[in-house]
Structure 1
Amino acid sequence: MRVLMISDVYFPRVNGVSTSIQTFGRELIAKGHQVTLITPSYGVDTAEPFEVLRMPARSIPFDPEDRMMLWRHLREQRAGLRAQRFDLVHIHTPFVAHYAGRALARSLAIPVVESYHTFFEQYLDKYIPLVPSAWLRYAARRFSAAQCNDVDALAVPSQAMLDVLTRYGIRTPAEVVPTGIDLAKFGQGYGERFRQRWGISTDRPLLVHVGRLAFEKNCDFLLRMLVHVKAEMPDVLLVIAGDGPALKRLQRLTQRLELQQQVLFTGYLARDGSLEDCYSAGDAFVFSSRTETQGLVLLESMALGTPVVAIAEMGTREVLRDSEGCLIAENDEAQFAAQCLRLLREPHLREQLAASARAYARSWSAPVLAEHMIDFYAGTLLRVEKRLREPMGGLGVAVGERAAALSAMAGEAGDEPRSLAASVVSTED
């Protein structure tokens, strides 16, 4: 299968979308499929086993981390992409990538699918404060529904997110397809090495949080929660590994709460062992976001044997099982702190949860969940071809006959079957 992915974000831009694309891309290649990704240029390339086409892009004034691909450069790619005979387009983000992906799919006459990675209804008011939040939520619902209904199929990382989209009124066929984790990569970390690097004593109680520091991630909750932990365990340390638009606000809140000795901001950590060491150094991983469509960092932490304390809402509710590698906390700072203190004070409980965390994480392996994505692609191709075969007058009959002939020809030649839509357009070129 030949898959053309397109996204407004990718590494070195760090977030869950980038991780999901990389994970699925690498697994698809390992299983013998072809993947090409179109994404903005950040001036830095990342080594991947699949082709990455970096498009010239301009910076966004209100969001310096992101880039906007330039449309004219995307149009210039069509001839070269046509020659690669892709089977479908997979859109990963709703901005330039959505509209460019739709245009490319039409130009190449192939189906288009989209992943809904981000719960925008809960995000926009954090970045556009001058507009009433009710208006923004309404606009986000309408915008999301329109885009979801503009593709042939939709992949959603959790049932909770799919339930939300169903309430929006989406009509597009949709399936839950979570992102898996690379168990080989997150199988070993060296916590002592991380503690030595950052001057943290081996016996200091350590809570860890990893993620993009965005306003919607509810990280300020963790700082207020830490006040309760500090009251009973003054030497506790919270490591916050990440960066983002909320960093300065979190640093100011740290000072206001007099937590300068209890909080360490490390910035982004490279996935070259540094991030894995950070996870492994923690006595517990803490997570308070209430708007995640999945929450990959939870699984990464558990794969490395670090127990989790988290609020279980939206997508995280489907990832977490209480006492199976984690303790679920309420959206209450004091109760969350009590769960953290319980883990910090009970070594036997930590060991028990660490073992169950590793076992549970194995059920989320990337190769297994990549098979789900492949099935999703195959089902979409079959459904679109079936729709094209349905009687539509002379065109419907012709398309159906063409499909049968192409299938027979492919079987005789021993070639991989080509998508019907691409075959039809080849007769029109």
Structure 2
Amino acid sequence: MENGVRVLMISEHYLPAVGGVQRHIEGVVNELAARGLGVTVLTSSNSQGIARQERLDNSIIIRIPYAWDSNPFLVALWMIANRHWIKKHDIIHVHDPIPLVFWYAPLMLFSPERPVFATFHGFERDPVPIAYKVLRVLARRLARRCLCVGGFIARQYGVQCDRLSLGAVELKPLPRQPRKGAVFVGRIEEDTGIPEYVKALAILGEKYGIALALTICGSGSIEQEVADLALSRGVEVEFAGIINNPSEVMNEREVCLAGGYLSILEAMSLGLPVIGIARSALKSDYLKAVIDEGGPISIQTSPEGVANEIARLFRDSRLAADVSQRGRAFAAKMSWNRLAETYLALWGTD
């Protein structure tokens, strides 16, 4: 793809908001800009006072006016009013169903022949409500081609994925100081398995005599419940909140309890063993996508299984070293360069 191509990325959320989708887009934008493509990100304002337009490193960010961005009808009007500016871009790529169906779809009435591409990230919650499945199927029909972050999306939502990826990560140097404790990065909700991880660490102490403190990077509606559970089971938990660079915290820990794909890849890039718990068909399918790509993740179905796996790793240094090496080798393959090439292939294949 030649230099000078103009790409418009559309996402409901972007920087300075923190999240896996935002970091995915930022990494791709930087790689595309390094190849000479001009990239603009169209997103919501999220808060009052934020700049409506700004240049950030290698891209331009355009934000829909605050308060408008929470009303699909107003967003559609804004998109239609700005359709001539949007048409100047050579490639339109939308992240996830809501901005595709409610933001961009009205513009397709003016240029129905113009292709739009999409990336589908993750899942809304477990189990997935039928409304979200219908929305994703509709979004897929609007997109010419689609990149799915995880092969589970095709199976769980019944949509065709033209390309697959788990995301990308940058290898980082290993720490010189000893590591201590466990880390979880993600939403503090029932469907992420965080209560089960706390129970697993309690079992680890009771059954194996291994006291492992847990640092949680994230937020959610059951934070107090998790705190109460940890207190009642004698597990030390630190709530670090949402942080811009969780890899700095991860690099000080011994083991990662699986959240989303990005945190899994970051843990592996740091040589951390990753253990996940899957108590539903969706979560099992989600985590098995890592194994399908060659990632050395341990998937358990109970807190007891998680505790047993941690104990096994702690008591077998050769096994732990092997898992660490294989994790870093896997992460090295999941580069931002590779992910950018996936996007270019998605856009350029007829």
Taking a change above 3 Å as real, the CA distance of residues 347 and 52 of structure 1, as seen in their structure-2 partners, is same
Question: In the alignment, which of 144, 149, 154 is matched to residue 152 of structure 1?
Answer: 144
Counterparts of 2:213 and 2:296, CA distance in 1:
19
Aligned to 1:373: 343
The offset of 1:10, in angstroms, is 1.6
Partner of 1:99: 102
Of 48, 54, 63 in structure 2, the residue corresponding to residue 54 of structure 1 is 63
Distance 1:8 1:327, change over 3 A: closer
Alignment CA distance shift 1:181-1:142 (3 Å): closer
Q: Take 1:282 and 1:121, find their aligned partners in 2: how far apart are those partners?
A: 27
1:209 equivalent to 2:175? Answer no
Corresponding residue for residue 396 of structure 1: none
Query: Which residue of 2 is the match for residue 331 of structure 1?
Result: 301
Contact 1:225 1:333 in 2 (8 A): yes
1:22 positional shift? 1.4
Measured in 2, the distance between the counterparts of 1:117 and 1:255 equals 34
Code of the residue aligned with 2:101 in structure 1: it is H
Q: Distance in 2 between matches of 1:243 and 1:8?
A: 19
Match for 1:296: what amino acid?
A: L
Q: State the partner residue of 2:287.
A: 316
Task: Report the aligned-residue RMSD.
Answer: 2.9
Confirm or deny that 1:24 pairs with 2:28. Answer: yes
Compute the displacement of 1:338 (Å).
0.6
Task: State whether residues 159 and 176 of structure 1, in contact with CA within 8 Å, keep that contact through their aligned partners in structure 2.
Answer: no
What SS class does the counterpart of residue 61 from structure 2 fall into?
strand
Contact kept, 8 Å, 1:213 with 1:244, in 2: the verdict is yes
Q: 1:297, CA displacement in angstroms?
A: 1.1
Cα 1:191–1:280 shift into 2, 3 Å: farther
Matched, 1:347 2:347: no
27, 42, 45: which is aligned to 1:38? 42
Gap runs ≥5 in structure 1:
61-66, 125-136, 193-201, 383-429
Cα deviation for residue 5 of structure 1 reads 1.3
2:164 corresponding residue in structure 1 = 177
Amino acid at match of 1:372: T
Out of 156, 160, 173, the position equivalent to 1:188 is 173
Residue 270 of structure 1 pairs with residue 279 of structure 2: no
**Distance in structure 1 (CA, Å) of the matches to 2:145 and 2:186:** 29
Aligned CA distance change for structure 1 residues 121 and 281 (closer, same or farther; 3 Å): closer
Q: Report how many aligned residue pairs link the two structures.
A: 332
Which of 280, 296, 306 aligns to 2:272? It is 306
How far is the alpha carbon of 1:234 from its aligned partner? 5.2
Counting only pairs closer than 5 Å after superposition, residues 75-90 of structure 1 correspond to structure 2 as 75-82=80-87, 85-90=88-93
Q: Which structure 2 residue ranges, 5 or more long, are not aligned?
A: 279-283
Q: In 1, are the aligned partners of 2:79 and 2:104 still within 8 Å (CA)? A: no
What aligned pairs does 1:57-136 form with structure 2 within 5 A after superposition?
57-58=66-67, 70-71=74-75, 72-82=77-87, 85-107=88-110, 110-120=114-124, 122=126
Deviation at 1:191, TM superposition (A): 7.2
Q: Deviations over 1:6-44 (max 9, x none)?
A: 111123332222122112222211222222111111345
- Determine helix, strand or coil for the equivalent of 1:302: helix
Shift of 1:336: 1.0
**Higher gyration radius (CA):** 1
Percent sequence identity over matched residues? 22
Compared CA separation, residues 215 and 225, structure 1 to 2 (3 A): same
* TM-score normalized with structure 1 length: 0.69
Using the TM superposition, give the Cα deviation of residue 337 of structure 1 relative to its aligned residue in structure 2, in angstroms: 0.6
Q: Contact 2:187 / 2:218 at 8 angstroms: preserved in 1? A: yes
Give yes or no for the alignment of 1:221 onto 2:196: yes
In 2, are the aligned partners of 1:114 and 1:153 still within 8 Å (CA)? yes
* Distance change (3 Å), C-alpha of 1:223 and 1:174: same
Q: Secondary structure at the match of 2:306?
A: helix
Q: Under a length normalisation based on structure 2, what TM-score does the superposition of the two structures give?
A: 0.83
